[in-house]
Structure 1
Amino acid sequence: MRVSLNWLKEFVAVRLSPADLAHKLTMTGTEVDSVQIIKSAFEKVTVGRILKIRRHPNADKLVLCEVDVGNSSPLKIVCGAPNIKEGDIVPVAVSGAKLAGGFSVHKTKIRGESSEGMLCSERELGISEDHSGIMILPPDLPTGVPLDEALQLSDALLELGVTPNRPDCLSIFGTAREVAAITGEKTRLPDIRMREAGAQIESLTSVTIEDEKGCPRYAARVVSGVTIGASPAWMQQRLLKAGLRPINNVVDITNYVLLELGHPLHAFDYHKLFENRIVVRRALPKESIVTLDGANRGLTEQMLVIADAEKPVAIAGVMGGANSEVTEQTKTVLIESAYFDPVTIRRTSKALGLSTEASFRFERGADPQMLTVALDRAAALMAEVAGGTVAAGSVDQYPHPFSPKEISVRHERIRRILGIRVPPDKAISILDALGFEIVSTTGESVRVRVPSYRPDVGEEIDLIEEVARVYGYENIIATYPEDRALMTRGLPAKSAEEEVKALLKGCGFTEIITFSFGDPEEMKDFSGDGYPAAPIRMRNPLAEDESVLRTTLMPGLLGTIRSNINIGRKNLKLFEVGKIFWPAPGETLPDEHVSACGAATGLRNSLHWKEQPAEVDFFDLKGVVETLLDSLGFDARAVKSARPGFHPGKCADIEVAGKTVGRVGEIHPDIIQKYELKQKTFLFELDLSTLLSCPKTEKEYLSVSRFPYSDRDMAVVVDENIEAAKLVSAITEAGEEILRRVLLFDVYRGAQVESGKKSLAFSLRFQSVQRTLTDEEITAAFNKIVQSVQTRFGAQLRK
């Protein structure tokens, strides 16, 4: 929001410099992003009055003017413009003046006649592109005054960063209210001098509101006999400073009032409205409208439209229709001033991908009570600037008038929240200056009525914030808390999610957070076999690659890995714990699952002189998953599987208590190529929601034996498809109590083992907690184990 300091001064006295004012506004919550000082594009141009005009004796198209510029004698100036007459107030460039573009003015002779200056057009002054004639100034300007001072062309522009909860600051007058509250000055509304004439408005038009929720209030006026043309220079200048392009006087007035008072307006060509009336309704099925930007826009039944008796003529609160546009032929105008439901306008704007100055304000919350003030202001300006006649009366459909909210704020509560004591009288004066009507006061509290332009204030804490920001955050002294901390018997246990995060960090992984929205094409890579085939699509996605709710965390991790690899970080261990969303048949809302996903790529450890570099592999990540689940108290096992997105033969399901709770494996080469990772990447994902529903393994205490142990090695040859985990389970079962540990320490495939088979070597530790084992006992247990694996798996003992 750009605020002209000259314009601001029309509503509140400003005695601060632009820099000091910007600082004050920023410190009270209205951030000023920048301050731009504007100077006029000319020098030594003054306001003059044409006293006399006579023909040039030596040129048919030139005239000789005598112009009063406040000196002892008038200047003689030769001019060729056809639009001047005696008595006109005009800009005069005296000798030594510099105009826009660097042109200099000096005394000279034109066709034998002396010319002591120059009468200027708007283009020569850099005010606009109009050079059809001399710029005619308002008749009340005093002669001899510098032009930039008379027209307030030198200015300061404050660029405000208005937050979404403060729509009241999206106008010059709204900013003036803030300045008044900060500085103690008083605000004043624009002086609206409107003369009504002609027929009563009830005989000219009517307004019907069919959707009172979408449009709680709609008012209109009719102005006839307007002449469409260019706006006056002062209005164009203000629009340009605010970043708006002048169009014509009627449209410019609606934009001018929007900037001035913050309430959006719209002007319809009255004679283009069928039956000359307005109907506010929802769009009909398959209805469409060509908007002012020339686009043909399809409407839905959820969108609010302004219609006449047969068709939509505007998208309510967003943009008008081309079928009711004000053009050069327009003679009568119907001015709309309405209040629309913010949610309805926001949804329509997002659905159409169309954001305007009007929708920007309506979707944040306009002021329903400013509506008629803005309407009258626009009608008065159209009568003044466009020569129109304002019909008697206005239409104002307001079925459910605004009822202001009342809130009490306690002085003790202010002290406890801010940590300082704000004198009650000061707190009350701050609220009063901000426009909160004081309803009642007691020694302990004050009750206020919230103004209609503050939709963001709804609770006591909001009023405390208002007091704090105007009182000055810099006046709040840093202090230690007054209350002592209460002693508790112990901190509550960490949630399962927090525990998972802590364990993964302990395994050397770094936590990341990615968006809950994803690319449907990326979700397809991992769909099926336990994951939804089709994710839930958003109605109004920001982009196609963020158009669905994620069904897995894996694409987000792979995308993060790609971004890091692209900037040279190739050794990565990342994880995320977050929600994923699966469609729930027959339900409106999705099923939400909490998932833990981790990925590793590159080198296992950082480079070190004592170790040879080695890349991470499947077993590294499998070990992380086993460590994680064991620390959480679950007895898990990995079962070989083939899952979408993973490398064939290098993927395993993670099972707990017979339930599949996740998977771990190497990412498929096709997906590695798709993400342009250029190196092997391993990934796991656990469904924590399913995992936490599984029973935990009871931890059994085993005393440390005082007796010696004995290690025996055993190497067996088995078929390639037999999993080592199954052998470990069989060995443990056969070894009974005296087998304390089973460790796989070697896997061999080679010349000494026939094709289709592999050699697995295990270290077995035997120990008793009651006595020293004899060789006979250990040998007997060992032989039992050998016999078990030979019988169950057809294993051959290697010697």
Structure 2
Amino acid sequence: MLIPFSWLSEYVDITLPPDEVAHRLTMAGIEVGDVITRGGWDNCVVGYVRSTRPHPNADTLTLCLVDPGDGPELEVVCGAPNVAADQNICFARPGAFLLNTHTGRQEELKPARIRGVVSEGMICSEAELGLSNEHDGIIVLPADAAPGAPLNAVLGDTFLELELTPNRGDCLSILGVARELGAITGQPVHVPEIGYPEAGPPVDTLAKVTIADPDLCLRYTASVITGIQIGASPAWMQDRLTRAGLRPINNVVDVTNYVMLEFNQPLHAFDLATVTDRHVVVRRSSPGEKFTTLDGVERTLTNDTLMIADPAQAIGIGGVMGGANSEITAATTTMLLESATFHNLNNRRTATNLNLRTEASLRFEKGLRAELAPIALRRATQLILQTAGGAAAAGIIDVYPDGQPDAPVPLTERRLRQVLGMDLDIDRAETVLASLGITTRRTGADSLEADAPYWRSDIAIEEDLIEEVVRIIGYDEVPTTMLSSPIPYHRPNPLTELKEALRDALAAAGMEETISYPLISAEDLTRLDLPEDEQAPWLRVANPMSTEYNILRPEMIPSLLNTLAYNQAHNDGGFRLFEIGRSFGYQDGNLPHEREWLAGVMSGPRFGDNWLTPADLMDFYDASGIVSTVLGRVGFTASLQEAVGTRWHPGRAATISVRAATGAAAEVGVVGEMHPDINDRFGLRPEPVIYFQIALDALSSARLDTEAAETRFQSLSRFPAANRDLALLAPSDVPAGQIQQLIQRVRLVERTELFDVYTGENVPEGMRSLAFRIWFRAEDRTLTAEELNRAMNGLTRVLEREAGATLRG
């Protein structure tokens, strides 16, 4: 939201520098994101075009005689199609620095010979002055602009760019910001008068309004104006709309936009001649009903869409956009002006479902008070009479089904001091509330009740009034005091500590943490071949911010693969990403349930571009090695067993189990290379993508291996190790990891590594050859050959007995 100082100053005197205004508003809860200054056009003035004539050597150029107001007339070559005599224009003298639209740089303007004629300046477009990208025509200034006046004084301005919280929708208006600034600085606020002559017949004889669904339309007010003449709005109104970021259209539409920016109440104008029986019906749409909006798009509606209609057809979508069948045109002479209050949540759902966000829906979805509608209506009617002529009907239509005023909000001095922790009397609170336009009445010596003003929809309880008081007097006035009770003792959370340890271990292993939204689309789950069924229904969000992302992820994998796809599209190289997050589903089929996971994905070259190492791609063993290392660093001994599934590349996936101090193993996750078909569906590069996930609740509940968890120093042995190679014939269904674990259990074995796997000639069917290198060491002596032979003999007996593995001949 842009707030021009030139417009803001009409309602409140601005006594502070712009930066101080921004600071004071921000400290009061109205965040100012930026202060923008427009101007700095030295050597630029208002010029007056005395006459024009064609350029003798160019058909598309015009020679203009310009009066700069403070010197002799100058001849200027201009290529704009809209330049004409008797115009006030933006004139730049030589020496001015303007944007060169061809080079995109600020350059000094110099006299130039153009097709044989010297141009002694420039008539500027918005692009040359940096106001916009528009350079098809020059800027035509109002007729009352004085030639010779500095352009900074005419077009220069300062703007506040607001970044509002959802509860302060009132500051989407100029008057809303003026009221805030007035309360902060103690300046009075000047609210425009809203009276106008009612010269027409009674409004009830000209139009009728019926609210068929009062739960969605809380109030509907309307006025009727006859004999209007559609045309351009006054220059001052166009200028204010342009500065606020809106494009002028015509006098009637401009007035509705002007009052929306002024009072924060959206309005809409209908050509009354197009409304059947001059009867407006506010109703729900029929399922599947189609409607063409002002932007020319035919939209299919749901039965929760609030429609503005007549007895024959729909003429607008309530609070979002009007229809092409009832818009104001050059032929319009009689109009109905709507100012209504719609249900904010329904309005937001409608705008989201239709993917149609407008300035009106932005305001309605934040909630507007019904008392605002007739006030804004009368202000807009007044301005239309001034800009489009005509006669306003006597009275207004006001259909207000509820019509009950809001209950007053109480405030006591005791509660004020209790919440703020400071001595603050009720008199000062009453003064502050009055400065914000909040009407109060004393109900006792130290208590009062307040009525929320018509422009504020965020004041409903006592704490709201307390917040208003403290933010205006300043949060820095709240004293710093000691806690009234001892600080609670720290209670360790094992799951939190585990997550932090995992983060550190993963970062040390070269992984990078990402954070993604838990909302995904149905398409993501379809790519994973994860259909919705009665046994595993998807958990949908009832009121999503996006119609596309409306499902809470049942697994982490879609988020990680989408993150990888985004990074691959923007960067080269390898990616090692992990996330600690939650999945969502139903527990026992009826109650929502959250589960925390550690998930990671790896893909791309193992090393960066390097002439020393080959450009190998990461594979299953890179991920499984990181998983084992990380689990080891947090106190678990990991083991892997082959896993199968349609999402995995065959033979390249494994379940992850951890062994606790009791020796029992618990399955906690899976690691595997994604199937190429799934990679294609997610738009990933044609290279291995390895994914792993670990259930943190299962990991946390597993007993820590105390021997592995405790970091201890062990001195290096003074005695040498001896190694032996062992070639075995083992059944194909016995994992090599199981055999390796059996070897590690034998006394004197320090470590072992698998260095060869062979199947084929000379190996019986159903068997495979596994070759291990084994290191033996004793802590107190050098091992003899006899001791090594005894150890090997005992080792082969264990392997044959427990794994069916025999020595290969």
TM-score higher than 0.5 here? Answer: yes
What residue identity is the alignment partner of 2:756? Y
- CA shift, 1:353, in A, is 1.5
- Distance in 1 (CA, whole Å) between partners of 2:90 and 2:706 is 88
Which residue pairs with 1:718 in the alignment? 729
Retained in 2: the 8 A contact 1:43–1:98? no
Matches within 5 A, 1:204-215: 204-215=206-217
- CA shift, 1:317, in A, is 0.4
Q: SS in structure 2 opposite 1:226?
A: coil
Write the deviation string for residues 233-271 of structure 1: whole angstroms up to 9, x where unpaired: 333333333333333322222222222222111111223
Which residue pairs with 1:403 in the alignment? 406
Matches within 5 A, 1:237-636: 237-400=239-402, 401-408=404-411, 425-440=427-442, 448-458=450-460, 462-472=464-474, 475=476, 482-483=482-483, 486=486, 491-507=490-506, 508=508, 509-518=511-520, 523-524=525-526, 526-527=528-529, 549-561=552-564, 570=573, 573-582=576-585, 591-600=593-602, 618-619=620-621, 621-626=623-628
- CA shift, 1:564, in A, is 5.8
- CA shift, 1:723, in A, is 0.6
- Distance in 2 (CA, whole Å) between partners of 1:611 and 1:244 is 59
- CA shift, 1:375, in A, is 1.2
Retained in 2: the 8 A contact 1:148–1:154? no
- CA shift, 1:413, in A, is 5.8
- In structure 2, the CA distance between the partners of 1:594 and 1:584, relative to structure 1 (3 Å rule), is same
Q: CA RMSD in A?
A: 5.2
- CA shift, 1:485, in A, is 8.1
- CA shift, 1:298, in A, is 1.4
Range that drifts further, 234-243 or 183-192:
234-243
Is 2:739 the counterpart of 1:727? yes
The equivalent position to 1:100 in structure 2, one of 89, 103, 108, is: 89
Retained in 2: the 8 A contact 1:165–1:364? yes
What residue identity is the alignment partner of 1:233? A
Is 2:797 the counterpart of 1:790? no
Write the deviation string for residues 517-537 of structure 1: whole angstroms up to 9, x where unpaired: 346565555446999999667
- In structure 2, the CA distance between the partners of 1:222 and 1:24, relative to structure 1 (3 Å rule), is same
- CA shift, 1:340, in A, is 0.9
- Distance in 1 (CA, whole Å) between partners of 2:216 and 2:499 is 47
Matches within 5 A, 1:127-142: none
Retained in 2: the 8 A contact 1:558–1:675? no
What residue identity is the alignment partner of 1:686? I
Flag the structure with larger Rg: 1
Q: SS in structure 2 opposite 1:281?
A: strand
Q: SS in structure 1 opposite 2:458?
A: coil
Is 2:685 the counterpart of 1:663? no
Q: TM-score, normalised by structure 1?
A: 0.73
Retained in 1: the 8 A contact 2:505–2:633? no
- Distance in 1 (CA, whole Å) between partners of 2:327 and 2:760 is 91
- Distance in 1 (CA, whole Å) between partners of 2:608 and 2:336 is 74
Retained in 1: the 8 A contact 2:654–2:671? yes
Which residue pairs with 1:179 in the alignment? 181
- In structure 2, the CA distance between the partners of 1:407 and 1:724, relative to structure 1 (3 Å rule), is farther
Q: Percent identity?
A: 34
Retained in 1: the 8 A contact 2:282–2:306? yes
- In structure 2, the CA distance between the partners of 1:540 and 1:750, relative to structure 1 (3 Å rule), is same
- CA shift, 1:698, in A, is 8.4
- CA shift, 1:363, in A, is 1.2
Which residue pairs with 1:53 in the alignment? none
Is 2:753 the counterpart of 1:745? yes
- Distance in 1 (CA, whole Å) between partners of 2:405 and 2:748 is 79
What residue identity is the alignment partner of 2:198? E
Which residue pairs with 1:156 in the alignment? 157
- Distance in 2 (CA, whole Å) between partners of 1:404 and 1:182 is 27
What residue identity is the alignment partner of 1:386? A
Q: SS in structure 2 opposite 1:647?
A: strand
Q: SS in structure 1 opposite 2:199?
A: strand
Which residue pairs with 1:687 in the alignment? 695
- CA shift, 1:223, in A, is 1.9
- Distance in 2 (CA, whole Å) between partners of 1:739 and 1:199 is 108
Q: SS in structure 2 opposite 1:207?
A: strand
What residue identity is the alignment partner of 2:10? E
- Distance in 2 (CA, whole Å) between partners of 1:793 and 1:572 is 39
Which residue pairs with 1:7 in the alignment? 7
Write the deviation string for residues 153-178 of structure 1: whole angstroms up to 9, x where unpaired: 56634243141322111222222212
Write the deviation string for residues 443-485 of structure 1: whole angstroms up to 9, x where unpaired: 8776544334223345555445434443345x559x8753388
Q: SS in structure 1 opposite 2:493?
A: coil
- In structure 2, the CA distance between the partners of 1:146 and 1:23, relative to structure 1 (3 Å rule), is farther
- Distance in 1 (CA, whole Å) between partners of 2:792 and 2:522 is 55
Which residue pairs with 2:57 in the alignment? none
Q: SS in structure 2 opposite 1:496?
A: helix
Q: SS in structure 2 opposite 1:297?
A: strand
- In structure 2, the CA distance between the partners of 1:15 and 1:521, relative to structure 1 (3 Å rule), is closer
Write the deviation string for residues 63-117 of structure 1: whole angstroms up to 9, x where unpaired: xxxxxxxxxxxxxxxxxxxxxxxxxxxxxx9xxx99415499xxxxxxxxxxxxx
Retained in 2: the 8 A contact 1:414–1:464? no
Range that drifts further, 610-619 or 670-679:
610-619
- Distance in 1 (CA, whole Å) between partners of 2:544 and 2:291 is 23
Q: SS in structure 1 opposite 2:517?
A: coil
Q: SS in structure 1 opposite 2:335?
A: strand
Retained in 2: the 8 A contact 1:501–1:577? no
Retained in 1: the 8 A contact 2:319–2:342? yes
- CA shift, 1:433, in A, is 0.8
What residue identity is the alignment partner of 1:790? E
Q: SS in structure 1 opposite 2:393?
A: strand
Range that drifts further, 547-556 or 235-244:
547-556
* Aligned length in residues: 703
Retained in 1: the 8 A contact 2:408–2:449? no
- CA shift, 1:362, in A, is 0.9
- In structure 2, the CA distance between the partners of 1:605 and 1:371, relative to structure 1 (3 Å rule), is same
Q: SS in structure 2 opposite 1:324?
A: coil
Range that drifts further, 365-374 or 570-579:
570-579
Is 2:761 the counterpart of 1:759? no
Range that drifts further, 636-645 or 298-307:
636-645
Q: SS in structure 1 opposite 2:288?
A: coil
Matches within 5 A, 1:39-188: 43=46, 99-100=88-89, 102=91, 156-163=157-164, 164-188=166-190
What residue identity is the alignment partner of 1:502? A
Which residue pairs with 1:74 in the alignment? none
Q: SS in structure 2 opposite 1:514?
A: coil
Range that drifts further, 174-183 or 393-402:
393-402
- Distance in 1 (CA, whole Å) between partners of 2:491 and 2:530 is 39
- Distance in 1 (CA, whole Å) between partners of 2:38 and 2:15 is 16
- CA shift, 1:370, in A, is 1.8
Retained in 2: the 8 A contact 1:5–1:157? yes
Range that drifts further, 19-28 or 680-689:
19-28
Gaps of 5+ in 1: 46-92, 105-122, 138-143
- CA shift, 1:684, in A, is 1.2
Retained in 1: the 8 A contact 2:669–2:695? yes
